[in-house]
Amino acid sequence: MHYSALKVLWQGLTGNKGWTEVWREPDPKPEYDIVIVGGGGHGLATAYYLAKEFGELNVAVLEKGWIGSGNIGRNTTIIRSNYLLPGNQPFYEFSLTLWEGLEQDFNYNAMVSQRGIINLIHSDAQRDAYARRGNSMRISGADAVLLDRRKVREMCPFLDFENGRFPIQGGLWQPRAGTVRHDAVAWGFARGADSRGVDIIQNCEVTGFQIENGVCRGVETTRGVIRAGKVAVCVAGSSSRVMAQAGMRLPIESHVLQAFVSEGLKPVIPGVVTFGAGHFYISQSDKGGLVFGGDIDGYNSYAQRGNLPVVEDVCEGGMAIMPMIGRARLLRMWGGVMDMSMDGSPFIDRTHIDGLYFNGGWCYGGFKATPASGYCYAHLLATGRPHETAQAMRLDRFITGAAIDERGAGAQPNLH
Amino acid sequence: MTHRIDGGLIDRSQTLKFTFNGKRMDGHPGDTLASALLANGQRLVGRSFKYHRPRGIFSAGSEEPNALVQLRTRAAQEPNTRATMAELFDGLSATSQNHRGSLEFDLMAINDMMSPFLSAGFYYKTFMWPAKFWEKLYEPVIRASAGLGRLSGREDPDVYDHGFLHCDVLVIGAGPAGLSAALAAGRAGARVILADEDFRLGGRLNAETYEVDGMPGADWAAQTVAELQAMDNVRLLPRTTVYGAYDHGIYGALERMTDHLPDAGGKPRQVLWRIYSRHAILCAGATERSMAFGNNDRPGVMLAGAVRTYANRFGVTPGKQVAVFTNNDDGWRTAHDLSARGVRVTAVIDSRAGVTHTLDGARIETGSAIVDTKGRKGLNWITLPNGIRIEADCLAVSGGWSPNVHLTCHQRGRPVWRDDLAAFVPGADLPVGMRVAGAANGDMTLAAALKTGRETANTVAKDLGLTPSRKAAPKAEDEPSDITAFWHVGGTKSRAWVDLQNDVTTKDIKQSHQEGFRSVEHLKRYTTLGMATDQGKTANVLGLAILAEASGKTIPETGTTIFRPPYTPVPIGAFAGRARGKDFRPTRLTPSHKWASENGASFVETGMWMRAEWFTRPGEKGWRDSVDREVEMTRNSVGICDVTTLGKIDIQGRDAAEFLNRIYSNAFAKLPVGKVRYGLMLREDGYAYDDGTTARLSETHFVMTTTTANAVLVFRNMEFARQCLWPDLDVHLISTTDGWAQFAVAGPNSRRLLEKVVDDFDLSNDAFPFMACAELTICGSTSARLFRISFSGELAYELAVPARFGDSLIRVLMEAGEEFDAVPYGLEALGVMRIEKGHAAGNELNGQTTAAQLGLGRMVSKKKDSIGSVLSERSEMNRDDDLRLVGFRPADREARLDAGAHFFTKGDTPSLETDQGWMTSVAYSPSLGHSIGLGFIKRGDQRMGEIVRAHDPIRDKDTEVEIVSPHFIDPEGERQRG
Amino acid sequence: MIINHPLLGPRDAAEFVIKGDASLIDRPDWQIENAAEAFHEYLFLRDNPAGEHRELWYHEQGDRSWLVVTRNTLTHEVTRVEMARDVARKARA
């Protein structure tokens, strides 16, 4: 069913009785060309691009619970491509360009809202680093603007320019960055993939891989064995658990990242703002909630919940730059499980087991990557070659010493 | 006060004045804003989120979905405050929110007419064309109409405190179960904290007409509270919401200290408590829910229990002609209580057939329902299935009670369904240490609440090794409340609301199911059911029931959503507490800070430290004048700089040398006593980490300096190495960063200056050469340490004294230096001189660079084990075309360089593929008279003299620069050895 | 969370800094033949279990002890706390 304003009008006039299922609920077939393990944003995007761009139609997405119930449904919805390193920058810029045409592409309004992101600058060294980063962005075709203090003040008069412990000196602005209605991304990709024939199978947990003579031939699931030409794992948050079933240890730890939303408020914050002297980022949703977050809790966890010290730390960061939010109330906080990798960057790669592919390690940057991650994974699965923007995201990069370490924090996941 | 009736727990001897939308009204102490509004006959109090439907007060507690107001004015303006939780005070000012035009004539009410086109998820299906219009047109319109209340946009004027409490037993909720539990635990001698969100403890006891121990329930509550108050081992926290259950028995609680006062009077508005408990007893009671029927959202339609609360506790009747719609016995209590207080009850409609309750003067309909209501800005009529209309200005609805299981879910526990209650009760996987009693656990009667509260507390007391008190349990009636689940009235075209605040109707839920959003998680995300400020406290179960019906499953088959903290919303300011403004983080001051501020210093934040950037002298027009002067005078005579912020680590033990040998990549084992060595540390992954100097004061005693930025991390890692990697080495570490004040004295006259300060110590080049160190005394008797090291490249020393002498020492040094025109120099001049010398600092040692790239490759010894040496040999870190740190000067010497520019070979088109590196640090060199820079460029060491582009699109600059040695000044190092 | 420090008793986890898997104690010998491989596994690869996890915590706001904490990553329950130094010595013995 094609969605349009006209359709909404017609359905409204006829009692909204004609809306059909956004995706089917098929039973799994015994065999597919490609089985994608994980019905989160990245898995669904992979299926969508496999079908749409690479003509792979005999594809299934297996989801343990309900599609979109992982981190695609639990994040702070920010999209941006303000990355520094050549292993990352072109990939995230590719993702941003995909975001820009996504809604028309999959005929679903995911509310891609390019209201910009400002990374605040609080010291000379930070300005140097952001100038380097901004230049990286500009050189690779992205947009970036270095703002002085006066300009930041013009754009965000509500920030604390008078009394800050770490005074605001300026900012790095990416006008094309913004936010997206996160759940709608999963639904839009699911709908697009489903309409092209991809089977989306919910409540189907993978319990093992069928590896025969070093070749992966399928998966065992709670709904039986499903054979596959290729098995593409895409389960960030649970990567280690799933890949352990194939006997692999990964350069990944699972950590909890909390996110927060306030009660609904009339518009006060124009785009995304991040604090440069603490860990805090914030935007305001179309419904009016302030959506914000900060650092991970720091300990390994699969528990999908965090603890109070980080809640306080995040709110301190918020009050440090915008003390007007003191009387806004925090409505809901939740924790998502992140694949924190050893250099803070992800993996899109084949494994040493033929026919078994891996996509994960997204740390807390997976949401913005969703379309490009799907596209590049689909490219790898369909063509056997990495997409040109994802060539650095290899699993063996710690053997060769080709880390993609944006923060320069080294091999300790909770520092990224 | 048109709707006051007799009785209630309010103080009628005093009148409080307040305004609603500017209208003056009166109330009494003991009122909430909601009860006072109802007392004044104000039924319309707000507008709904989506359709802007007129809404009135729905509940009498924190579950309120409708009556959200903006409280107070100016900077203290507080959006989305529940009128049901706001304690009335004299001068209170409240305004309604979320309407354009007046509350009565909201222009946005047009949305209600458009509602057929605004069904669940409509926005996902439109507004896609043309793409550009989203940010420019559609979204601004949506954003402007969304949201509820408004922030003032000004700094929150109040202060918030954080506090920490410890107890044996935390009792959450002070209703009958909670009071009974606290009493039992308190009497047994446990350290008890009893917290309740209400300002009057007692819970439903204050709202019902039950008797306990032969006295009115509210009296028993007051008497119990008095007894608890008298116990030293019990702490009562009224106005305190326990909002979250965290790991290991830690609870978050918010106490509203001054929200009920006209003015905080300088006291904290709220205190955020972190409560460390050994046991917790959750006695959070239950929340009533509604049923779905046509136009069930009009002002005047309320929860039956709330109507009873207003009558019994506040002496207010929400209507003059009240009808009751119920599916359980509890609804009848409202009818009886109101009738007993002289309020006219026009009808009682019970969905159950065969109910035998009666009420004089009221029309009784059993096995019936309400299909529709009438009344634009407030209820006038209700309509029965047979078309009969009954007049009513208030409809009390009871769809049953849902136990408040919220805190049992905060650690991902899942509640379980109980058919007999038609409600979810806590599951088995409770947070560690938590027990649940009373209605929160499904024990819905008063007697059961009192009993289970006491029994649970007694069990906990035994666990704690205490002896439960033998005092008798309080006695109360035990009349079970029968319920037959009934969720929504079918067969009507009118919309029936499930989530009042977010305007989710039964049709939305059915449509969601029809479109495939069939799991609860999909339902709530697609329809926004339960996502409003009340988090669906009165709506979730009803929504689930309707979804279950649509899918032909039972409720437990359909699932449940669990709850996350906070139980009710908590101000962001409360979480931040005092860590705001300048107190966001501690401020560390160097020992010379006072002296520096007396001498024209301008300070800059470096981490937690405040450091002098430069010292302005009269007549200097800008910072460059000051910095250039400081550099020139230091290089020509002598300058003094406070370098106390460098990390200092004292290392002692028989194996101290061996330990350092493994920490640093270069050799340290054979460093002679009395000498200093520059050391480079790698991370275990082989990247450069930190650098500094380490001095050997004796065979077994070393003193290390680290960079300011890494002081804490390096110490942490060294302790890791000491305790975890090489536990058998005899070595001990202590951080002495704050223990010593340290000053660099640099420049050709530094020796002459220091000679005036040291006691009988030979500073000649032979006796105390470059890289020497010594312990000595200065100024007569003050013990000090002297290091002949140089960051500036000049003849230089660093002199350290115990921190308490730091202020004196800077004064002594400056006085001694007067004859040489000694200058203090700040961080900027320090930076200029280190760039002139080509020393790496934070911009180069950024965690992404290798020793080889820094030109320090030879410092990584291959003859020994040290942190990072093995992994530093990986192939990609040793490429032939690798980056090298070199110097740059502008081809046109007048040009200014900028850090962050990327290098490109002349003739190349800038792209990530052709990128050659970047400029890390720049400075104007007063010594050379032009701008200079350091930077990394591929094969830089082999490209001396080449002109490349420093491409800086973000500043619209493109400068030709020449690759030169990074050692701009005195490359042979003669000055520092002189 | 609360860490029951073997020397100091129960302490709020906020006083600590966490490093990661306690296997980081077992640093390989730099002179073995496959040292590069051994160091790669040691530093970069993790079991990352969903369940019991032995991990290193550092009492930075306290006595500066490194501890080995056995904690369940699904429930956060702490079942054992040891001095890392003792664990390291035992591993070497």
> If DSSP states are collapsed to H, E and C, what string results for A77-130?
CEECCCCCCCCCHHHHHHHHHHHHHHHHHHCCCCCCECCCEEEEECCHHHHHHH
Residue ranges with strand state E in A316-381: 329-341, 347-350, 356-360
C8 CA: distance to closest CA in chain A (Å): 21
Which pLDDT value is given to residue B561?
77
Nearest C-alpha of chain B: how many angstroms from C92? 9
Q: Residue B129 pLDDT more than 90?
A: no
Of B52, B42, B50, residue with least CA distance to B20: B42
Give chain A's contact residues with C (Cβ, < 8 Å): 238, 240-241, 244, 249-254, 298-303, 307, 309, 342, 398-399, 411-414
CA distance B954 to B951: 9
Query: B245 to chain A, minimum CA–CA distance in Å?
Result: 9
| Pairing state between β B321-326 and B344-350 | parallel
**Residue B145 in this model has a pLDDT that exceeds 90:** no
Q: What is the mean pLDDT of residues B678-706?
A: 98
The structural domains of chain A, ordered by start, are 29-78+182-251+343-415 (3.50.50.60), 112-178+253-340 (3.30.9.10)
Residue with tokens 């660099």: B744
Q: Which portions of chain C are predicted below pLDDT 70?
A: none
In this prediction, residue B499 carries a pLDDT of 97
Chain B CB contacts of C25 below 8 Å: 724-725
The DSSP result for B422-477, as a single string, is TEEE--S-PPTTEEE-GGGGT--SHHHHHHHHHHHHHHHHHHTTPPPP-PPPP-B-
Q: What percent of chain A has pLDDT over 90?
A: 100
Check A254 against C18: CB less than 8 A apart.
no
Rg (CA), chain B: 38
Q: Best mutation site among A302, A305, A399, A404 for testing chain C: the one with the most C CBs within 10 Å?
A: A302
Q: Do the Cβ atoms of A254 and C71 come within 8 Å?
A: no
Instruction: Give whole-number Cα distances, B667 to B16, B838, B858, C35, in Å.
Output: 80, 23, 11, 21
| Arithmetic mean of pLDDT, B828-856 | 97
Distance from CA of A399 to the nearest CA of C (A): 6
Subunits that touch chain C (at least 3 Cβ pairs < 8 angstroms)?
A: A, B
Asked if B723's CB is within 8 angstroms of C30's CB, the reply is no
Residue B680 β-bridge partners: B691
Confidence of residue B559 (pLDDT cuts 50, 70, 90): confident
Buried b (16+ CB within 10 A) or exposed e, B666-693: bbbeebeeebbbebbbbbbbbbbbbbbb
Instruction: Give the number of A-C residue pairs with CB atoms closer than 8 Å.
Output: 70
Of A251, A299, A302, the CB nearest to C50: A302
Q: What is the rounded distance in angstroms from the CA atom of residue C68 to the CA atom of residue C4?
A: 11
pLDDT at B190 (0 to 100): 98
CB B908 within 8 A of CB B901: no
Q: Which residue of B has its CA nearest to C83?
A: B723
* Residue contact A111–B123, C-beta within 8 A: yes
**pLDDT over 90 percentage in chain B:** 96
pLDDT confidence of residue B132: 83
Q: What domain range is C52 assigned to?
A: 2-25+34-92
Residue B897: CA atoms inside 13 Å, Cβ hemisphere, count? 33
Helices A89-106 and A366-383, packing angle to 10 deg: 90
Does B360 have pLDDT greater than 80?
yes
CB contacts < 8 A (A, B): 364
Residues making up chain B, counted from first to last: 978
Note whether C39 contacts B: Cβ–Cβ < 8 A.
yes
pLDDT of residue B395: 98
Q: CA–CA separation, B39 vs B42, rounded Å? A: 8
Quick count: other Cβ atoms within 10 Å of Cβ B782? 16
Q: Any idea what the CATH number is for the domain that residue C40 is in?
A: 3.30.2270.10
Q: Cβ contacts of residue B678 below 8 Å, gap of 6+?
A: B666, B691, B692, B693
Residues 89-148 of A with CB under 8 A from B: 89-90, 100-101, 103-104, 107-115, 122-123, 125, 127-136, 138-140, 144-146
Residue A414 CA to residue A299 CA, distance in Å, equals: 7
Contact C45 A251 (CB under 8 A): yes
User: Which residues of chain C from 51 to 90 reach within 8 Å of chain B, CB to CB?
Assistant: 56, 58, 60, 64-66, 75-78, 83-85, 87-89
> Partners for B (CB, 8 Å, 3+ pairs)?
A, C
Residue A330 and residue B877: Cβ atoms within 8 Å? no
Considering chain B, what is the average pLDDT of its residues? 96
The minimum CA-CA distance between C44 and chain A, rounded to whole Å, is 5
Task: Check residue B493 and give its pLDDT.
Answer: 86
Q: Measured between CB atoms, does B215 come within 8 Å of chain A? A: no
- Total domain count, chain C: 1
Task: Quote the pTM value.
Answer: 0.97
Residue A183 near chain B (CB below 8 Å): yes
Residues of A in contact with B247 (CB under 8 A): 307
Q: Which residues of B112-151 are buried (b: 16+ CB within 10 A; e: fewer)?
A: beebbbbbbbbbbbbbbeeeeebeeebbeebbebbbbbbb
Pairwise CA distance, residues B584 & B580, whole Å: 4
B23 interfacial to chain A (CB closer than 8 Å): no
- Whether residues A413 and C76 touch (CB distance < 8 A) is answered with no
Judging by DSSP bridges, how do beta strands B54-55 and B701-706 pair with one another? unpaired
Provide, rounded to the nearest whole percent, the portion of chain B with pLDDT above 70: 100
| Enclosing H/E stretch for B864 | none
Residue C42 distance to chain A (closest CA, Å): 10
pLDDT of residue B478 exceeding 80: no
Residue B491 has pLDDT above 90, yes or no: no
**How many Cβ atoms from other residues are within 10 Å of residue B550's Cβ?**
18
Distance, in angstroms, between A197 CA and closest chain B CA? 16
Question: Which residues in C lie closer than 8 A to residue B729 (C-beta atoms)?
Answer: none
- Residue A250: closest C-alpha in chain C: C45
Are residues B566 and B243 in contact, defined by beta-carbon separation less than 8 angstroms?
yes
Amino acid letter, residue A369? A
**A320 within 8 A of A166, measured Cβ to Cβ:** yes
Amino acid letter for position A307 = N
* d(CA C84, nearest CA chain B) in Å: 6
Q: Which of C1, C65, C85 sits opposite B247 (nearest CB)?
A: C1
Q: Please check the confidence at residue B562 and state whether its pLDDT lies above 90.
A: no
Point out the residue among C1, C48, C50 whose CB comes nearest to the CB of A307.
Answer: C1
A403 contacts in B (CB within 8 Å)?
Answer: 685
Q: Considering CB atoms only, which of A302, A309, A411 is closest to C43?
A: A411
Contact (CB<8Å) A265/B148? yes
Q: From the candidates B274, B713, B870, B876, which should be mutated to test the interface with C, based on the most C CB atoms within 10 A?
A: B870
**Helix, strand, coil in percent for chain B, rounding step 5:** 25, 30, 45
Q: Which of A250, A299, A412 is opposite residue C48, by nearest beta carbon?
A: A250
Indicate yes or no: CB of B719 within 8 angstroms of CB of C58: yes
Chain A: residue nearest B145 by CA?
Answer: A266
Q: Which residue blocks in chain C are alpha helix, DSSP H?
A: 35-44, 84-92
Name every chain A residue with its beta carbon within 8 A of the beta carbon of C44: 251, 342, 398, 411
Residues of chain A neighbouring B565 (CB-CB closer than 8 A): 332-333
Residue B191 three-state SS: coil
What are the tens digits of pLDDT across the range B52-97? 999 999 999 999 999 999 999 999 999 999 999 999 999 999 999 9
Nearest to B143 by CA among B134, B152, B155, B131: B134
Q: Is the peptide bond before B130 cis (omega within 30 degrees of 0)?
A: yes
Nearest to A240 among C14, C40, C46 (CB): C46
pLDDT surpasses 90 at B135: no
Residue numbers in chain A where pLDDT is lower than 70: none
Q: At a CB cut-off of 8 Å and minimum separation 6, what does A81 contact?
A: A89, A92, A93, A95, A96, A137, A142, A174, A176, A177, A368
